[in-house]
Amino acid sequence: MRRQQAQGLLQGVEALRFFVSGFIHIQLAIDLDLQGTDFEVQVWNALSEVPTGTTATYGEIAARLGVPRQAREVGEACAANKLAIVVPCHRIVKKDGSISGYRWGVRRKRALLEREHRARLLRPAGANPHEMAAS
């Protein structure tokens, strides 16, 4: 593994450690080798654009991808996601805002959303999340 890749991986692991501890939200800056259909990879990339502490609906993601009638297929792509937190499918909810199925359980999905929401409310506007982790 090249030195730059190793450093990126270590930074990602550190960010995950802080996230799991409840301290900060994360935006990983590592290249992922996502393995799935072309559509699944498009969905997973779109999920990564949903800001921490917020949600989007399956239909909104479908519309962003130019396939507004494929909300169900977006849900199926979320269910196929094997990289919890890194590919944040937990941020996707039903049209009415309710929480639906989650590969790792609805209880865990709700807890992740609540943690991210709290961290977002506690973070000063414009703050670098990694600076907060150090304090």
Catalytic residue set: 89
β partners of residue 93: 57
Among residues 111, 99, 51, which one has the least CA distance to residue 75? 99
What is the spatial distance between Cα 126 and Cα 135, in angstroms, rounded to a whole number?
16
Q: Are 75 and 39 in contact (CB under 8 A)?
A: no
CA torsion through residues 4, 45, 49, 123, sign: negative
87, 34 in Cβ contact below 8 A?
yes
